[in-house]
Chain A
Amino acid sequence: MDDTIIRTENLHHSYAASEDELEIEVLHGIDLHVKQGSFVGILGHNGSGKSTLAKHFNAVLLPDVGKVWVSGMDTSSEENTLDIRRTVGMVFQNPDNQIVANVVEEDVAFAPENLGYPTEEIRKRVDDALKAVDMYDMRTHAPHLLSGGQKQRIAIAGVIAMRPRCIVLDEPTAMLDPYGRREVIETIRVLNKVFGITVILITHHMGEVTRADRVIVMDEGRVYMDGTPAEIFSQVEKLRSVHLDAPPTVALLYELRKEGLNVPLDALEPEDCAAVIGALIKHKA
């Protein structure tokens, strides 16, 4: 059986910038296959179309031209929408905009309740979801008193309670401090590696996707680069040409290469970068 969870074919999308203006096309024919269980990072300058693309993955937006399939279901068929939304959940940037209840576990129960599941089923899903994001101990707390990172984990739990096969996160750490960011990214990593949930992460923080399976770079409504993190982040000039940048580790190695030192550019993590530089220094000493 095909293990593609999301597929787009010649996906075009337009919107009108303002009332009296002509429509602007923001996605120019995207062809994409996302494998079930993979961790995919999507990068791109603001305005590149990445959020617009992500919103097609759970039928928040529908294609103007082309098609999108989620688990084989055509997103343009209204009869599929509920199942699609159960299969792919979305988490957005602002934690405060995603909380609806006064008690953590009630907020997480929101979706299962609306779907009319029996009480025991809701209870089990809420508990499982909260444990998956390591917030079970806070289940009776008030969400608005939590830190940003904790709120985002509650938002993720709310999505997990639907037992989706895939979660799409649109810059979920933009409003968080470094610790909150680490908490959320670690939670996402566990969901992907331990629970096998497909993760699609849109971000401007390169460090969040250095361990992804795949990184897609969008530019002006098109897929510009597509490969492993090592393949993508080592192409420093190409990234800079589309208003992105390599992670500081790669940027440093790139500078050393320009000085004539023979260093690889795919040591993304600080420890790996240090190992490369350490070996270089010790070798020459």
Chain B
Amino acid sequence: MAPIIKTEQLTHIYSKGTPFEHLALDAVDFSAERGEFLGIIGQTGSGKSTLIQHLNGLLKPDSGRVLFEGQDIWQSKVFNNSVRFKVGLVFQYPEYQLFEETVFKDISFGPKNMGLKPAEIEERVYEAADFVGLGEDILKKSPFDLSGGERRRAAIAGVIAMRPEVLILDEPTAGLDPFGRMNLMKNIRNYHEKNGATVILVTHNMEEIAREADRMIVLSDGRISLSGTPEEIFARAEQLESMRLEVPDITKVFLELRRLGVNVPRSVYTIEQAKKAILNREGGSLFA
């Protein structure tokens, strides 16, 4: 089955022809399967934001192609526009994008641009607000009267209201407290499961990727340097650290255990896995 979205030898150069010329993406072959939950990690400046802005046609390739369901997204203006609604992109700190008089109007912006009828727009707004956990009473308020967390959720609802088949989120939990992070990730997981949507999560939070992602890619200097399951990626702690990235704290605990001579699996990265590994350790039960 063809990937829902992929890039072929995608290259992007900022400030071409000037002294500040910078090769942000270097012939990148990226792909995401329909319905998968994909995590992207990489140091600041590795090309993450550039890559995701190509996936919904906000940026144009300097060379290479971007394909949605096998078709070049730059083949025609019409197709290019349609991709904007099928691939929803939530930027970092999306609450800065809110602009309308009411939350309802702000969330309906996308569906309105899709040419939907008022009844359908209304349905989508309520559905999207429900997905992100915003009560109906919030909808008639001004976005600027909401708390930071509510504004964040309103902005994400604005993208979800378009029912994108691919939902891309750039550090959606940045700046939220642990409870807010947990809730938002639950909502994203909900959207993923309910709609079979493909979710691409760019994050610095290793614990989040460990919990949610089916597959991960690591970007470094404009190239994909690693790709695999979280288990495979987090097993390569030294390599990640040399790329100025980290492994989840639980993985650090287990690496240290191995260093102390305790025979435990290397690729443990969630608390649940850690608990099982410790309690079911080969060589005897801890309750002997």
The interface size bin for chain A is: 35 or more
B147 in contact with A47 (CB, 8 Å): yes
A178 in contact with B244 (CB, 8 Å): yes
* A174 to B245 CA separation, bound complex (whole angstroms): 16
Chain B nearest Cβ from A47, distance in angstroms: 6
Which residues from chain B contact A261 at a C-beta distance below 8 Å? 286
A243 in contact with B179 (CB, 8 Å): yes
A45-B179, A204-B176 in contact; A18/B253 too (CB < 8 A)? no
Residues in B269-287 with C-beta less than 8 Å from chain A: 271, 274-275, 278-279, 281, 283-284, 286-287
A259 in contact with B275 (CB, 8 Å): yes
B271 in contact with A244 (CB, 8 Å): no
Which residues from chain B contact A149 at a C-beta distance below 8 Å? 44
The stretch of A34-42, A154-162, A274-282 that contacts the partner chain: A274-282
Q: Is A102 an interface residue (CB 8 A)?
A: no
* A278 to B121 CA separation, bound complex (whole angstroms): 57
Q: Is B70 an interface residue (CB 8 A)?
A: no
* A177 to B281 CA separation, bound complex (whole angstroms): 35
Chain B nearest Cβ from A153, distance in angstroms: 14
A47-B147, A178-B245, A256-B275 in contact; A274/B253 too (CB < 8 A)? yes
A249 in contact with B244 (CB, 8 Å): no
Chain B nearest Cβ from A85, distance in angstroms: 26
Contact check: which of A45, A171, A247, A271 meets B180 at CB < 8 Å? A45
Chain A nearest Cβ from B6, distance in angstroms: 26
B278 in contact with A277 (CB, 8 Å): yes
Q: Mark B249-260, 1 if CB is under 8 A from A, else 0.
A: 110111011011
* A149 to B274 CA separation, bound complex (whole angstroms): 32
Q: Is A72 an interface residue (CB 8 A)?
A: no
Q: Is B196 an interface residue (CB 8 A)?
A: no
* A177 to B244 CA separation, bound complex (whole angstroms): 9
Chain A nearest Cβ from B72, distance in angstroms: 32
Q: Mark B45-70, 1 if CB is under 8 A from A, else 0.
A: 10000000000000000000000000
B177 in contact with A248 (CB, 8 Å): no
A174 in contact with B175 (CB, 8 Å): yes
* A277 to B283 CA separation, bound complex (whole angstroms): 16
Q: Is A255 an interface residue (CB 8 A)?
A: yes
B275 in contact with A278 (CB, 8 Å): no
B44 in contact with A148 (CB, 8 Å): yes
Contact check: which of A93, A176, A245, A252 meets B274 at CB < 8 Å? A252
Q: Is A147 an interface residue (CB 8 A)?
A: yes
- When C-beta atoms are compared, the residue in chain A nearest to B279 turns out to be A259
Chain A nearest Cβ from B138, distance in angstroms: 14
* A284 to B179 CA separation, bound complex (whole angstroms): 36
* A149 to B275 CA separation, bound complex (whole angstroms): 35
Which residues from chain A contact B44 at a C-beta distance below 8 Å? 147-149, 176-177, 179-180
- When C-beta atoms are compared, the residue in chain B nearest to A248 turns out to be B249
Chain A nearest Cβ from B261, distance in angstroms: 8
Contact check: which of B244, B253, B261 meets A273 at CB < 8 Å? B253
Q: Is A175 an interface residue (CB 8 A)?
A: yes
Which residues from chain A contact B286 at a C-beta distance below 8 Å? 261, 280-281, 284
* A148 to B286 CA separation, bound complex (whole angstroms): 46
A274 in contact with B254 (CB, 8 Å): yes
Which residues from chain B contact A244 at a C-beta distance below 8 Å? 177-179
Contact check: which of A44, A243, A252 meets B275 at CB < 8 Å? A252
Which residues from chain A contact B177 at a C-beta distance below 8 Å? 44-46, 204, 243-244
* A94 to B260 CA separation, bound complex (whole angstroms): 40
Q: Mark A194-223, 1 if CB is under 8 A from B, else 0.
A: 000000000010010000000000000000
Which residues from chain B contact A147 at a C-beta distance below 8 Å? 44-45
Q: Is B1 an interface residue (CB 8 A)?
A: no
B248 in contact with A248 (CB, 8 Å): yes
A207-B249, A274-B254, A281-B281 in contact; A171/B175 too (CB < 8 A)? yes
Q: Is B288 an interface residue (CB 8 A)?
A: yes
Q: Is A251 an interface residue (CB 8 A)?
A: yes
A46-B148, A255-B275 in contact; A175/B253 too (CB < 8 A)? no
Chain B nearest Cβ from A43, distance in angstroms: 9
Further pairs besides A46-B176, A278-B261: 8, Cβ < 8 Å: A148-B44, A178-B206, A179-B245, A204-B178, A248-B250, A249-B249, A274-B254, A285-B284
Closest 10 CB pairs of A and B: A243-B179, A274-B256, A270-B252, A179-B244, A248-B249, A245-B178, A178-B246, A45-B177, A177-B44, A278-B260
Please give the residue numbers on chain B whose beta carbons come within 8 Å of chain A beta carbons, in ascending order.
43-45, 92, 142, 144-145, 147-149, 174-180, 204, 206-207, 244-246, 248-250, 252-254, 256-257, 259-262, 271, 274-275, 278-279, 281, 283-284, 286-288
> Can you list 9 A-B contacts with CB-CB less than 8 angstroms, sorted by A residue number?
A45-B178, A46-B147, A46-B176, A176-B44, A176-B204, A177-B245, A204-B177, A271-B256, A281-B257
